[in-house]
């Protein structure tokens, strides 16, 4: 089964992705992981991508598509994959459709985790990290026992720059601008299933399982 997972920052994609791949026994294919693996092993595709990244440029659609196509050709993806972070554009979505069609496959479902912006801002702006050990906290749901001091190692707990409210608003604006065309593209093909990401993780997981026929 080929599943695409869409959702804004803070929607809980990481948690749900882990549950999906475990249930379907398919790999979690994210563009970030693909880039890192190809760069680490200095593959031809990785070196080509590195030229753009070193210049601070976006990796072109056609190269991203080739990287993803290469990943989907691996034996562990024979039964399917959960795609996270790809496609990002209509061009990539069409290319993915063509790649899969050549293998006699198709996208089976596109899941959209939907959470209102105000909730996402509250979730993300409340996140804190330990500067020493990386332990995560949330000022509302899981604060450290002592203010701004890590329970685990006693290190300083701080807020990352990209978790500040104004930065989050900018990230969400970019997400909506880039993702909305994809939402319409998959919706028009009857492949989109909107999941209410405001619910607790277990309820969201159950809704996703139902959407995937599990």
Q: Let me know if 36 is a catalytic residue.
A: no
Q: Give the other-Cβ count within 10 Å of 110's Cβ.
A: 25
Q: Let me know if 160 is a catalytic residue.
A: yes
| Cα separation, 200 vs 103, whole angstroms | 37
Name the active-site residue from 71, 123, 128, 171. 171
Q: Let me know if 146 is a catalytic residue.
A: no
Is residue 207 within 8 Å of 195, Cβ to Cβ?
yes
Per-residue pLDDT reduced to its tens digit, 109-124 = 999 999 999 999 999 9
Total-model pTM = 0.85
* pLDDT value, residue 108: 97
Residue with tokens 């959407």: 211
Q: How far apart are the first and last CA of the chain?
A: 12
* pLDDT value, residue 37: 92
Residue with tokens 């993803």: 68
Name the active-site residue from 88, 109, 169, 193. 88
Q: Give the other-Cβ count within 10 Å of 44's Cβ.
A: 10
- Residue 200's alpha-carbon distances to 10, 67, 98, 101, in angstroms, are 13, 34, 36, 36
Name the active-site residue from 71, 123, 127, 128. 127
Buried b (16+ CB within 10 A) or exposed e, 126-157: bbbbbeeeebebebeeeebeeeeebeeeebeb
* pLDDT value, residue 59: 87
Superfamily name and number for 2-115+169-211:
P-loop containing nucleotide triphosphate hydrolases (3.40.50.300)
Q: Let me know if 171 is a catalytic residue.
A: yes
Q: Give the other-Cβ count within 10 Å of 123's Cβ.
A: 20
Q: Let me know if 22 is a catalytic residue.
A: no
pLDDT tens digits in sequence order for the chain, 214 residues long? 999 999 998 899 989 999 999 999 999 999 889 999 999 999 999 999 999 888 888 888 899 999 999 999 999 999 999 999 899 889 999 999 999 999 999 999 999 999 999 999 999 999 999 999 999 999 998 999 999 999 999 999 999 988 999 999 998 998 899 888 999 999 999 999 999 999 999 999 999 999 999 8
* pLDDT value, residue 57: 84
| Cα separation, 49 vs 35, whole angstroms | 8
* pLDDT value, residue 48: 92
Name the active-site residue from 25, 160, 178, 189. 160
- Chain centre distance of CA 13: 6
Per-residue pLDDT reduced to its tens digit, 42-51 = 999 999 999 9
Name the active-site residue from 13, 71, 123, 128. 13
């Amino acid at each position: 089964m080929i599943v695409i997972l869409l959702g804004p920052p803070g929607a809980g994609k990481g948690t749900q992705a882990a549950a999906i791949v475990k249930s379907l026994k398919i790999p979690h294919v994210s563009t970030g992981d693909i880039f890192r693996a190809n760069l680490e092993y200095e593959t031809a595709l990785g070196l080509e991508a590195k030229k753009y990244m070193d210049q601070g440029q976006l990796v072109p659609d056609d190269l991203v598509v080739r990287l993803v196509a290469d990943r989907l050709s691996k034996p562990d993806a024979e039964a399917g994959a959960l795609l996270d972070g790809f496609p990002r554009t209509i061009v990539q979505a069409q290319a993915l459709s063509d790649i899969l069609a050549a293998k006699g496959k198709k996208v089976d479902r596109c899941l959209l985790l939907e959470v209102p912006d105000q909730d996402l801002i509250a979730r993300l702006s409340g996140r804190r990290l330990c500067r020493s050990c990386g332990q995560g906290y949330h000022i509302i749901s899981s604060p450290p026992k002592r203010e701004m001091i890590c329970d685990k190692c006693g290190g300083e707990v701080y807020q990352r720059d990209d978790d500040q409210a104004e930065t989050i608003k900018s990230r969400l604006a970019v997400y909506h601008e880039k993702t909305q065309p994809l939402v319409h593209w998959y919706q028009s093909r009857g492949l989109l299933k909107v999941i209410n990401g405001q619910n607790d993780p277990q309820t969201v997981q159950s809704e996703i399982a139902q959407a995937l026929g599990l």
